[in-house]
Amino acid sequence: MDHLSRSLLNTFSTQPLNRCSLERKDSSWLTSQLSNSQSEYLVLDGHSVVCINSDPVILSHKQLHSMKAIYNPILLGLKKTDNTPVFVMNIAEPEEALESFYSEKNIESLSLRAITLEIDPELAAMYSYATMLNHWHLSTRFCTRCGSGLVIKEGGSIQQCVDESCGHIEYPRINSAVIMRVTKGNKILLARQETWPEKMYSVLAGFVEVGETLEHAVEREVMEEVNVPVKNINYHSSQPWPFPNSLMLGYTAEATSDELDFEQDDIEHALWLDADELKVELTAGRISAPGELSISYRLIDDWFEAETGISLQTFKCSYSPL
């Protein structure tokens, strides 16, 4: 399986939209997308998805233009299937703003984590992209070079400083994190942090630091967290991680020692388990694996399935906190 196929198995990876990076530089093209009567508008309330009876609200062009308040929708892109323009808009008080459309229904703001596995995977990928972009707009209000205000450009994929003598362009940023499955022989390294749900164990992960390669980040994080040197570091797959704005880069690595020392960082406990031992721990409920939302689940499941021929899905998995 190539890396693209492997990444496409990760949640939030099957993006149904074309971002139209080149077209969106043309303001008349942008205007025609905004005036397209077929256009659709995802509604977010900060980092939460606005839902009606647990289904995400997607407003029509007609609904948007019948609303009292003026909103500035951000263009996500065009649907690959039929070129429908899809926007995201942030509404701070959705109950009030949407009551004329959904007066009898239950308007609520739900976390993307809570609804992801309940909705279509392509819709989840669209909301992942939308929440990351919305987060950037809500948290980037001033020019980082001179402190002046910013104006939205290219439909919202960039913002530019309003001070013409500065003109600095702000781009959405993502935080890169490596997440690695470390094995030694037929055993996998699993660890937990104190703040995680009880009994939950996962693979190690950490943010990439300035000036290092992804492979060095893998090496450094494993050393910092459990004091184990690794070799044969290989890329597995990647996953957009909208909590709030990360890119997870999955790796595999082999430990050259099995002596664990997890006193020095935020790891509460770490251990080596072979697949049969993990099966026993999962069955007894002494350990729970991460939820299917996260690439950590994929990294463990790929190994577990290769070792045992059965999937982790057989066991009830807990929620991934990472």
Q: Summarize as ranges the residues that interact with Zn ion (CB under 5 A).
A: 143, 145-146, 148, 161, 163, 166, 168
Q: Distance between CA atoms of 18 and 32, rounded to whole angstroms?
A: 16
By beta-carbon proximity to Zn ion, the closer residue of 161 and 205 is 161
Kindly state the smallest distance separating residue 21's Cβ from Zn ion, in Å: 23
Kindly state the smallest distance separating residue 151's Cβ from Zn ion, in Å: 11
By beta-carbon proximity to Zn ion, the closer residue of 141 and 145 is 145
Q: Distance between CA atoms of 128 and 294, rounded to whole angstroms?
A: 13
Kindly state the smallest distance separating residue 171's Cβ from Zn ion, in Å: 14
By beta-carbon proximity to Zn ion, the closer residue of 5 and 165 is 165
Longest dimension (CA), the chain: 66
By beta-carbon proximity to Zn ion, the closer residue of 147 and 229 is 147
- State the angle between helix axes of 295-308 and 275-284 in degrees (0 to 180), rounded to the nearest 10: 120
Q: Distance between CA atoms of 153 and 157, rounded to whole angstroms?
A: 7
Kindly state the smallest distance separating residue 165's Cβ from Zn ion, in Å: 8
Q: Distance between CA atoms of 110 and 56, rounded to whole angstroms?
A: 9
Angle at 242 between CA 116 and CA 145, to 5 degrees: 160
Kindly state the smallest distance separating residue 164's Cβ from Zn ion, in Å: 9
Q: Tell me: cis bond preceding 121? Omega within 30 of 0 counts.
A: no
| Nearest CA among 15, 27, 16, 25 for reference residue 157 | 25
Kindly state the smallest distance separating residue 154's Cβ from Zn ion, in Å: 17
By beta-carbon proximity to Zn ion, the closer residue of 84 and 148 is 148
Kindly state the smallest distance separating residue 170's Cβ from Zn ion, in Å: 9
By beta-carbon proximity to Zn ion, the closer residue of 169 and 280 is 169
By beta-carbon proximity to Zn ion, the closer residue of 148 and 176 is 148
E strand intervals along the chain: 17-18, 40-45, 48-52, 55-56, 58-60, 74-79, 85-90, 107-111, 150-153, 158-161, 169-170, 175-184, 187-193, 204-207, 230-241, 246-255, 267-274
